[in-house]
Amino acid sequence: MKILICGDVVGKTGRQAIDRHLPDIRQRLDLDFVIVNGENAAHGFGLTDKICEAFYAAGADVVTTGNHVWDQREIIKYIDGDPKLLRPMNFPEGTPGAGTGIYEGPKGKKVMVIHPMGRLFMDPLDDPFAAVEEALANQRMGHTVAAIIVDFHGEATSEKQAMGHFLDGRVSAVVGTHTHVPTADAQILPGGTAFQTDLGMTGDYDSVIGMKKELATSRFTTKMPQGRLEPAEGEATLCGVYVETDNGSGLATYVCPLRVGGRLKEQWPL
SS (H, E, C) 33-100: EEEEECCECCCCCCCCHHHHHHHHHHCCCEEECCCCCCCCCHHHHHHHHCCCEECCCCCCCCCCCECE
Amino acid at 93: E
CA dihedral of residues 11, 172, 127, 93 (deg, nearest 10): 70
Active site residue 68: yes
Question: Does residue 102 contact residue 110 with C-beta atoms inside 8 Å?
Answer: yes
Active-site hit among 21, 43, 68, 143: 68
CA 157 to chain centre: 15
| Phi, psi of 67, deg, nearest 5 | -70, -15
- The catalytic residues are 68
